[in-house]
Amino acid sequence: MTRPTIPLEERLIIGLDVPSVEEARALVARIGEAGRFYKIGYRLGFSGGLGFARELVDAGKKVFLDFKLHDIANTVEEGVAAVAAMGVDFLTVHAYPQTMRAAVAGRGDGGLRILAVTVLTSWDDADLAEAGFSGDVASLVSRRAAQARDIGIDGIVASAAEAARLRGVVGAEIAIVTPGIRPAGAEAGDQKRVVTPAAALAAGADHLVVARPIIRAEDPRAAAEAVLAEMAQAV
């Protein structure tokens, strides 16, 4: 089975990791047509970002709400149903089986796609041990990816370092969304498992989440175009 064809510009998801809607709106305007898909996380979401998400949808942009839901099943199902009504494209939940089943039940038949977060890209084996997990990051990521596949999740969030192996676990149709992306020569920041855009796509990732290298650049549009150029080498 072949993987779905995704336009290059929709493979790049720009993380709007800024404190206000005003700053996010200015960034989107500066990036222009180089940005078609945007991620909104806690910081912006809790500062008016949900209303801004609707604004982006109305402007024809794709939107990824990175809220990593995890709660009792009924609460997750109802929350996901409310998000589905907004018209956004992606929503993250943590990859616990009960949570994933509830999210699948709540998404309905619209365009919302549920992404399961396997293991945060800021975690390594030592972090897992400190949190009380046995085994290593690679084993836990594979186990959760297989559970997500069996439950009917639309995609998984995982480091590009695991993308090639996970493609064999989840098959061709489940999306792999990769954070922790840094263009060649960029600093890793707080991420412990980082990969360049071209390498991530070559490894099997479908969508790449890039924030700091674009939104903190002197020219965000030029930075986004540079990332797209790197991605084009692997598509």
167 vs 31: CA distance, rounded Å: 31
Those residues with Cβ within 8 angstroms of residue 157's Cβ, 6 or more apart along the chain or in another chain:
92, 115, 116, 117, 118, 177, 178, 179
- Give yes or no for a contact between 10 and 37, defined as CB atoms under 8 angstroms apart: yes
Going by C-alpha positions, the residue among 9, 59, 67, 5 that lies closest to residue 37 is 9
- Give yes or no for a contact between 22 and 217, defined as CB atoms under 8 angstroms apart: no
212 vs 114: CA distance, rounded Å: 24
Exactly one of 39, 61, 68, 192 is catalytic; which is it?
68
Report the phi/psi class of residue 23: left, alpha or beta, with left for phi > 0 and alpha for psi in -120 to 50: alpha
Catalytic: 68?
Answer: yes
Q: What angle do CA 98, 44, 148 make, to 5 degrees?
A: 20
Residues tagged active-site: 68
